Amino acid sequence: MSEKWNIADLPDQTGRTVLITGPTLGGLGHHTALELARRGARVVLAGRTPAKVEETVAAIRAEVPEAALEALHLDLASLASVRSAATAARQIGPIDVLVNNAGVMGTSYSRTADGLELQMATNHFGPFLLTGLLLPQLVASEDGRVVTVSSMFHNLAGKPPLGDPREQHGRYSKWRVYGQSKLANLYFTSELDRRLRDKDLPVRALAAHPGFAGTHLAANGQYGRSSGGIASILDAGVRAVSQSAAEGAWPTLWAASGDLAGNTFVGPSGFQQMSGAPRRVGRSKLGQDETAARALWEISEETVDLRYP
Ligand SMILES: NC(=O)c1ccc[n+]([C@@H]2O[C@H](COP(=O)([O-])OP(=O)(O)OC[C@H]3O[C@@H](n4cnc5c(N)ncnc54)[C@H](OP(=O)(O)O)[C@@H]3O)[C@@H](O)[C@H]2O)c1
């Protein structure tokens, strides 16, 4: 296969079970689920709004009538919800791929019921706990993968998010914190993959980023919705200048299915990695800081009250 990946390279997925977070219609999770279902995977759609998950189920079934789809209720901004979702997910059996896709971007300062800042809670701590709780099922698949969707915005982090996650020191910068949450996705991937290899467990961790894709992320972050008034205008504006959500899902799809080593990071090959067919990409210097990755791991285990093997 050439260095760049194309949707035609997505192999048959029959027999594989994939759990995808954040599958709302029109987003990257929806398109990731659609293509995997088209290739025969059993897909578990884990979302926080049951009606939205059902909407995506109906849309995928309209294109792939034989799709094997299941719904799971999951609010990543609540550690209790993540624990209940993981308990409910036990009936799924072995999981071949967990796609940590769901996320929020650029939200105003707010704290979850667990006392965590919303972006770090949703984009990092929730997925950290979910992955840890699902690890036995990923191991049971005998060739598991964890794909975490990061962003080029990891470059905006400035410094690693290593302070007390329940304290806010200084002014809150929503873009910097978003960047830190996406940097956390890369630290999570590298440290998880290192630990899995260390323990000789049959699971790989990889990261992907979509470049700039026409989803509801910007409108959701700024207005808490993607339709109605100014939110519709921003949503349409983003779609006009970005690659499609379908193309934005390609890096995730490659990371979920390709012959790629653990800790590979995949993103678009075009100008500034904004669009184009996926290829292997690098991380910022900060993104390669293994000491920071280990420190965040310790903080995360303590914060979510879970010890990985
Ligand atoms: N689009 C881009 O250009 C871009 C660029 C770089 C990285 N990314 C990353 O791509 C991923 C997917 O985003 P997207 O662009 O597809 O945006 P999106 O259309 O807004 O989809 C985000 C998904 O995350 C879900 N979500 C948000 N908060 C959640 C929570 N507390 N619990 C469970 N699910 C939650 C949303 O559910 P609701 O619909 O219920 O809100 C939605 O399904 C994110 O991790 C984002 O950081 C996107």
CATH code of the domain covering residue 46: 3.40.50.720
Find the domain containing 214 and state its range: 7-304
**Stretch 202-212: mean pLDDT, rounded?**
97
Which pLDDT does position 219 carry in this prediction?
87
Confidence of residue 2 (pLDDT cuts 50, 70, 90): very low
Q: How does pLDDT run across 221-257, given as a tens digit for each residue?
A: 999 998 899 999 888 988 988 899 999 999 999 999 9
Residue at 250 is within a domain:
yes
Residue at 160 is within a domain:
yes
Atom of ligand 1 nearest to the CA of 213: 3
On the CB side of 123, CA atoms within 13 Å amount to 28
User: Going by CA atoms, what residue is nearest to atom 47 of ligand 1?
Assistant: 103
Total H helices, total E strands in the chain: 11, 10
Q: C-alpha distances in angstroms, 222 versus 117, 176, 235, 262?
A: 16, 15, 10, 34
Atom of ligand 1 nearest to the CA of 215: 19
Structural tokens at position 303: 């914060």
Residue at 96 is within a domain:
yes
Residue at 1 is within a domain:
no
Ligand 1 pocket mutation, candidates 215, 225, 226, 234, criterion most atoms within 8 A of CB? 215
What is the pTM for the complete model shown? 0.97
Atom of ligand 1 nearest to the CA of 242: 3
Q: How does pLDDT run across 49-99, given as a tens digit for each residue?
A: 999 999 999 999 999 999 999 999 999 999 999 999 999 999 999 999 999
Lining residues, ligand 1, CB within 6 Å: 21-24, 27-29, 47-49, 52, 74-77, 101-105, 122, 149, 151, 209-210, 212-213, 215-217, 220, 248
Ligand 1 pocket mutation, candidates 24, 54, 81, 177, criterion most atoms within 8 A of CB? 24
Residue at 309 is within a domain:
no
216/227 Cα distance (integer angstroms): 9
What DSSP state is assigned to residue 141? T
* Nearest CA-CA partner of 147 in 305, 258, 268: 258
Q: C-alpha distances in angstroms, 147 versus 18, 29, 62?
A: 10, 12, 27
Count of structural domains within the chain: 1
| Radius of gyration for the chain, computed over Cα atoms and rounded to the nearest angstrom | 18
Residue at 147 is within a domain:
yes
255/272 Cα distance (integer angstroms): 20
